[in-house]
Structures are given as structure tokens and as C-alpha cells.
């Protein structure tokens, strides 16, 4: 039997992300996050793993600031960003900059390449030359990085924090999109180990907002491809693919229109760009996603996955540029696929678990990736580029996580919705659950709203509840991905209808089991899952407790305060012409029906679902006499990321469930 998954063990487990493979295929590098020495912090370091498993993994970087955003340069050196201090400059503890560093291929001391005052926003390296590209945040009127630093200093000296906006959006997730805007820079890596980069600003005019640092540089280093958002004609919210010529510093649209492009990547032969492409959708028509390939010589694009009834993303081309690998949610997992450019044949390489960070080997025979399951966190695995429904092999001598995994019994369930649609769910049971000792059940509603339950979750981990004796049901109702476009359409723009009844159908089917206690149930969810928790509270009193995190309460004011409110019009319609569409789907309209005790949780820095939603929900609950508690995090955003805060989150949720589901005395967490 595995060791119990205590909160201490859970938070001390290393978390893997950002897997990269060196150009020669001899080194894997992965970012490993662990608890830091300072209270309430995670610290990330880069580790090297041997793809052959012959030598032990070893830590490459170590600093008080941590490291991230690794990329291999043409010469095998490792580029990364870190706010570690410049060893040749006076330390400024109040101004930590995400600077660009380089670690030699043969080891040694990392050297600072560039530390722009606004910090580095992502880096990409050319496959065949020493050219690199990176993003940096710069004041719009600045003529150079030095000028940008001077402008920032002038604001600081004047103690001015005011921001002026002239376009949309003005903030994103947890930060304001001013006073700096992202620009793209290109440079050649200097041969002299003592030299710093001499970058060239290749963005031209600042132009539209760059919401994500999603870009790549061509193998010859002459061209940058990037995602570019121009939201000057709301409610249209396209994200185009643009090409930037490094030498001439000119930009042209490679692919535009009413599309949303992500994850652009050049082919190794430099002939193609591949990206995921989504439609914006309309109130009457759900958004859809595909993999889009563009031939650079002609500008012609084609859909590589027209018959794949899933949502593919994160494409990467094979070393011979003849096929594309990508991932997509599929039946409660995140599967890995290959599509051949010649005939469009699509093969599901791995169908179980949740796969990410695909790294094809240079010989074209293998793919290295991160893969988690509902039971265990991500580990580095290897599988072949051919063959269907493979079981990936975990790399020996990878990152040691102590073999952590959940002890719960994991089962896959199916239920029938009212219209006959099959609803899939994960059920995680305590080992001791039986007909003689049925377990109380907590239902998790997923966020998104377009999403699904797949793989291991650090933020919504069912095994921590299982250790407390609860079973956890994780259903994928209408609007979930991985079950075909029709499943998304069933909930598109009608959040409180089929998604709600599907969850109840999944619950009813699960509760026919003798090892679950139908008299002791609760429901919890965050973001859209929080919306669903609020909706459930106003439509049924069958649950003993409801936990609602970062939740939407009233959709009309939410449209104007969320960071990208215009995007929601594609699904919900025009709130000015048809406000009834928003009112009809707002949980706030049903406050008078709520009787179930509720735990409201929100972070102050959440710009996606602003804290005002929680404040009004809390006021409405108190005004209507609903038993409730409000857990507020002044230093968190949409997610509770700091480890001690996350620990308090779990402690409070478990105490609330114990009180209302099990009838135990309320135990206030010691730090609250």
C-alpha cells in the first residue's frame, strides 16, 4: 500500500514542467518546482535527465530567484530566464528582473546575456544558427532598452503609478497591460563568453497587444512567427499569425481573419509554420479547433485535422518535417497524436493518461514527453513515433519524487444524460469504501468552461479528500472537450442547462453504487466550476455543502469587469441588445432559492473573474440568510499558487466539508 498522501507529502513533491530536448537528442532538461526556503514560496530549478536512463538526473541551476523558460541554442548551450542578480552589478533587492542567461553545453557557470529593465518574456533559438529571438516589455515611446529603463526610473522617482490606456484589453489574468508593452528582439549569441547580447528591436510599431509570449524563430534565424491580437474592432477578438522579417524589421500577416491562433512552430526544414487554430464561435455556433499548416513560399494554409472530432493543440513538427505531433483531450485523458502531411492520416500514439511537452528525438524514432495520470503526477516518459495506443515507458533515473501517488481506487464511469448522451466521469474511492461502510461523496465541477478532468491536478486534487474518507466524482458534462464537437455545442451559451443536468445524471448513476452514501454529498468547483456551484446552489438542495472558488455570479456586470469581456459575446451574445441572454444564465437570479451552506473563495488579483463577483455573492448570501463563509486571499489571482495559501485552501475546504457533510465540529485553520 502507498504511503498516505498527507498535505506535507503533497506539497513537498516536486512538480515537473517545461520539458526540452537538446538538438543532438542527448540531453533532456525539465523545470522542477519545489518548496523554497522562504515561507510561502515555490522555487524552480532546471534539471538535466539522460534520455537513455544510464546516468542519474542532475541539477543544472541553483539560485535564490529560481529559473524557468529553458531553450536549447544551436551550439547546445541552455538559455533560461532568472531574476538572479547580475554578478557584475550592484544588487537591487527591490527590483528583480527576469533576465536572460546562458549555461554552456559542457557545464560551468551561467552567464548573463541581457537584463532589460522590463524583463524577458520568452525566448526561442534558431535550429541551424546562433540566432535567437526574445520578447521584452518596453515603454511604448522608448527608443531603446536604455531609454526604457530611464523612463521607468523617472516614474519611480516621481512615485507615479498611473496608467494610460488607448486600446483593449487593458489587463490580462493578473496584470495590467501598461505602462510597458511587449516587443520582439533578435540577436546573435556572442562567441565571447564575456560579451553581452546586442539585440535589435524588430517589432516596428508596437501595434496590437500581445497577450501571450507565443512565438518561434525560423531555423535560419531570419524570421519570427508570433501570435498577434488586434482587438480594435470589438466584439471581434482575433489573434492573427504574423511573420516578422528580422533584417528589414517588417511585419506581415501570415494568417488572419476571425480566428484565434496559438502555439506557432516552424518546421525543421523552414518550409512550414504549424499552429492550432480556433474559431471564435457565435451565440448559435460553438467554437471549434484544428491544427493549421501554412506553406511559407505560397502562404497557402490547410487544415491537418478536418476529420478529428476533438480539440487539438500544441503542435510540433517531426525532424523530417513530414508529420506533425500534437495533443488533444480524449475521453478523460490527454492523448498524443501524429498526422502525416502527405496523406493526412492521423494516428493516436498514446491514449491513456495526460500527455504534454512533446519532444521528438532527432532520429525521428521516439518522443519524450511529460505524462501524468489521475493517480500520479507528471513524469518523463518515452514512446515511439509509430504505433497506436502505446503505453509510454517512464524514463529510469529521472526526477525522484518519492513515488508519490494517490491511494484512492480510480474507476471510469459512464452515465446517460436526459437526451441519451453518454457522460464520462472519474470516480476516486477511499480504499476502505464498501457496502458496509459507504463513503460520503464530493462532486468536482471543472473550470473552463471548455475543459475536462484529465491527469493529475495540483489545485483540485481528489486524493487529498480521499485521504479524509471522501469519494470524489469528477464528471465531464456538456461543454466538456474530449467527447466531440456535439458535446461542446450542448452547453455552448447555455451554461446552466445541459451542463447542470448532466452533472446530476452522472451523480445519480454513481449513487446507485452501494459503496457511496447518497445521504452525504457535496459539490465544489472553481472558475466555471464555481459558476456551476452557484447555479447548483440555486436549483437544488440535495447537497449538504457547496464550495465555490473564483466563481461567476452575475454575468452582465461580469462582462464589463473581466479582463477579456468582449470574448464572452461570441458565446453569450450582445449584452446590450439581448441582456436577457445573460440574465437567464446568471446564478444571481436564483439567490432566493439557495439554502445550502456555501464556502466562497476568491483572490484579490483575479482579473479573469474579478473579486467583485465574490463580494456581491457574499453580500447576497448574507442578505438572504444563507449559512456561508468567505475565504479571501489578498495576494492570489485566479489560482491559489503560493504553497502555504494552497495548504490553507485545502484545510479550509476540508474543515467546511467535515462540518456540513460529516456533522463534525467546525475547526478553524490555525493561520486564519
Phi, psi dihedrals of residue 501, rounded to the nearest 5°? -70, -30
Q: What is the largest CA-CA distance in the chain?
A: 75
Instruction: Give the integer Cα–Cα distance in Å for 477 and 489.
Output: 11
Q: Give buried/exposed letters for 626-663 (b at 16+ CB in 10 A, else e).
A: bebbebebeebbbbbbbbebbbbbbbbbbbbbbbbbee
Q: pLDDT value at position 96?
A: 82
Q: Is residue 577 part of a domain?
A: yes
Q: pLDDT for 306-358, tens place per residue?
A: 999 999 999 999 999 999 999 999 999 999 999 999 999 999 999 999 999 99
Q: pLDDT value at position 89?
A: 73
Q: Is residue 75 part of a domain?
A: yes
Q: How far apart are the first and last CA of the chain?
A: 34
Q: pLDDT value at position 531?
A: 97
Residue ending a domain, choose from 179, 201, 223: 201
Q: Give buried/exposed letters for 530-540 (b at 16+ CB in 10 A, else e).
A: bbbbbbbbbbe
Count: domains in the chain: 2
Q: Is residue 330 part of a domain?
A: no
Beta partners for residue 284, in sequence order? none
Examine the pLDDT at 209 and tell me if it is beyond 70. Answer: no
- The CATH number covering residue 495 comes to 3.40.50.1820
Q: pLDDT value at position 356?
A: 97
Residue ending a domain, choose from 167, 201, 235: 201
Q: Cell triple for residue 404?
A: 508519490
Task: State the Cα angle at 46 between 44 and 52, rounded to 5°.
Answer: 140
Q: Is residue 421 part of a domain?
A: yes
- Percent pLDDT > 70 in the chain is 98
Q: Is residue 652 part of a domain?
A: yes
Residue ending a domain, choose from 155, 177, 201: 201
Q: pLDDT value at position 2?
A: 76
Q: pLDDT for 96-131, tens place per residue?
A: 889 999 999 887 888 999 999 999 989 999 999 999
Q: Give buried/exposed letters for 2-24 (b at 16+ CB in 10 A, else e).
A: eeebeeeebbebbbbebbbbbbe
Residue 534, SS3 per DSSP: helix
For residues 280-286, give the mean pLDDT. Answer: 89
Q: pLDDT for 553-599, tens place per residue?
A: 999 999 999 999 999 999 999 999 999 989 999 999 999 999 999 99
For residues 24-28, give the mean pLDDT. Answer: 95
Examine the pLDDT at 511 and tell me if it is beyond 80. Answer: yes
Query: Containing domain of residue 79, as a range?
Result: 61-201
Q: pLDDT for 423-434, tens place per residue?
A: 999 999 999 999
Q: pLDDT value at position 123?
A: 94
Are 124 and 74 in contact by the 8 Å Cβ rule? The answer is no
For residues 248-257, give the mean pLDDT. Answer: 91
pTM for the whole structure? 0.94
Examine the pLDDT at 92 and tell me if it is beyond 90. Answer: no
Going by C-alpha positions, the residue among 505, 483, 506, 502 that lies closest to residue 494 is: 502
Q: Is residue 513 part of a domain?
A: yes
Confidence label for 404 from pLDDT (cuts 50, 70 and 90)? confident
Instruction: Write out the DSSP string of 161-199.
Output: ------SS--EETTEE--S-EEEEEEEEPPSSTTPPP--
Q: Is residue 579 part of a domain?
A: yes
Residue 471, SS3 per DSSP: strand
Amino acid at each position: 500500500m502507498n504511503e498516505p498522501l498527507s498535505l506535507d507529502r503533497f506539497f513537498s513533491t516536486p512538480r515537473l514542467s517545461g520539458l526540452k530536448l537538446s538538438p543532438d537528442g542527448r540531453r533532456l532538461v525539465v523545470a522542477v518546482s519545489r518548496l523554497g526556503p522562504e515561507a510561502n514560496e515555490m522555487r524552480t530549478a532546471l534539471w538535466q535527465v539522460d534520455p537513455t536512463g544510464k546516468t542519474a538526473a542532475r541539477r543544472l541551476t541553483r539560485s535564490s530567484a529560481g529559473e524557468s523558460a529553458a531553450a536549447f541554442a544551436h551550439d547546445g548551450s541552455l538559455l533560461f530566464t532568472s531574476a538572479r542578480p547580475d554578478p557584475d552589478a550592484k544588487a537591487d533587492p527591490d527590483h528583480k528582473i527576469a533576465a536572460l542567461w546562458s549555461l554552456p553545453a559542457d557545464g560551468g557557470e551561467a552567464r548573463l546575456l541581457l537584463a532589460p529593465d522590463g524583463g524577458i518574456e520568452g525566448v526561442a533559438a534558431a535550429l541551424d544558427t546562433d540566432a535567437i529571438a526574445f520578447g521584452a516589455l518596453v515603454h511604448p515611446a522608448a527608443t531603446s532598452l536604455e531609454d526604457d529603463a530611464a523612463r521607468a526610473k523617472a516614474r519611480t522617482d516621481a512615485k507615479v503609478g498611473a496608467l494610460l490606456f488607448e486600446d483593449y484589453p487593458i489587463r490580462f489574468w493578473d496584470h495590467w497591460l501598461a505602462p510597458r508593452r511587449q516587443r520582439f528582439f533578435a540577436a546573435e549569441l556572442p562567441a565571447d563568453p564575456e560579451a553581452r547580447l546586442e539585440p535589435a528591436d524588430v517589432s516596428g510599431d508596437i501595434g496590437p497587444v500581445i497577450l501571450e509570449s507565443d512565438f518561434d524563430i525560423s531555423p535560419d534565424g531570419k524570421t519570427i512567427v508570433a501570435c498577434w491580437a488586434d482587438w480594435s474592432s470589438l466584439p471581434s477578438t482575433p489573434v492573427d499569425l504574423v511573420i516578422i522579417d528580422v533584417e528589414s524589421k517588417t511585419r506581415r500577416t501570415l494568417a488572419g481573419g476571425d480566428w484565434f491562433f496559438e502555439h506557432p512552430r516552424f518546421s525543421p526544414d523552414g518550409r512550414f509554420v504549424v499552429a492550432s487554430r480556433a474559431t471564435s464561435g457565435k451565440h448559435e455556433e460553438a467554437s471549434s479547433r484544428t491544427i493549421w499548416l501554412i506553406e511559407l513560399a505560397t502562404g497557402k494554409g490547410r487544415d491537418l485535422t478536418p476529420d478529428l472530432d476533438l480539440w487539438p493543440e500544441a503542435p510540433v513538427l517531426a525532424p523530417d518535417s513530414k508529420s506533425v505531433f500534437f495533443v488533444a483531450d480524449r475521453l478523460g485523458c490527454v492523448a498524443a497524436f501524429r498526422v502525416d502531411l502527405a496523406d493526412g492520416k492521423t494516428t493516436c500514439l498514446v491514449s491513456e493518461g495526460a500527455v504534454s511537452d512533446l519532444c521528438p528525438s532527432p532520429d525521428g524514432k521516439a518522443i519524450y514527453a511529460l505524462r501524468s495520470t489521475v493517480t500520479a503526477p507528471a513524469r518523463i516518459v518515452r514512446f515511439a513515433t509509430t504505433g497506436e495506443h502505446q503505453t509510454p515507458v517512464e524514463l529510469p533515473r529521472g526526477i525522484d519524487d518519492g513515488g508519490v501517488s494517490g491511494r484512492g481506487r480510480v474507476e471510469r464511469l459512464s452515465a446517460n444524460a436526459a437526451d441519451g448522451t453518454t457522460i464520462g466521469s472519474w470516480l476516486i474511492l477511499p480504499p476502505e469504501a464498501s457496502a458496509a461502510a459507504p463513503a460520503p461523496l464530493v462532486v468536482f465541477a471543472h473550470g473552463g468552461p471548455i475543459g475536462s478532468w484529465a491527469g493529475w491536478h495540483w489545485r483540485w486534487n481528489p486524493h487529498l479528500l480521499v485521504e479524509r474518507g471522501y469519494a470524489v466524482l469528477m464528471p465531464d458534462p456538456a461543454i466538456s472537450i474530449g467527447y466531440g464537437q456535439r458535446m461542446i455545442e450542448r452547453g455552448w451559451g447555455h451554461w446552466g442547462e445541459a451542463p447542470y443536468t448532466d452533472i446530476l445524471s452522472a451523480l445519480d448513476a454513481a449513487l446507485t453504487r452501494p459503496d457511496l452514501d447518497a445521504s452525504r454529498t457535496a459539490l465544489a468547483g472553481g472558475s466555471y466550476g464555481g459558476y456551476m456551484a452557484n447555479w447548483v446552489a440555486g436549483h437544488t438542495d440535495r447537497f449538504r455543502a457547496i464550495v465555490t472558488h473564483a466563481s461567476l455570479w452575475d454575468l452582465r456586470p461580469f462582462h464589463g469587469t473581466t479582463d477579456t469581456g468582449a470574448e464572452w459575446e461570441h458565446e453569450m451574445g450582445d449584452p446590450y441588445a439581448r441582456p436577457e441572454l445573460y440574465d437567464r444564465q446568471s446564478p444571481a437570479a436564483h439567490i432566493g432559492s439557495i439554502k445550502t451552506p456555501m464556502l466562497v473563495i476568491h483572490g484579490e488579483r483575479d482579473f479573469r473573474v474579478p473579486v467583485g463577483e465574490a463580494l456581491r455573492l457574499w453580500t447576497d448570501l448574507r442578505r438572504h440568510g444563507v449559512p456561508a463563509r468567505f475565504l479571501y486571499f489578498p495576494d492570489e489571482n485566479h489560482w491559489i499558487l503560493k504553497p502555504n495559501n494552497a495548504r490553507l485552501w485545502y484545510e479550509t475546504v476540508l474543515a467546511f466539508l467535515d462540518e456540513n457533510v460529516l456533522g463534525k465540529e467546525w475547526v478553524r485553520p490555525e493561520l486564519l
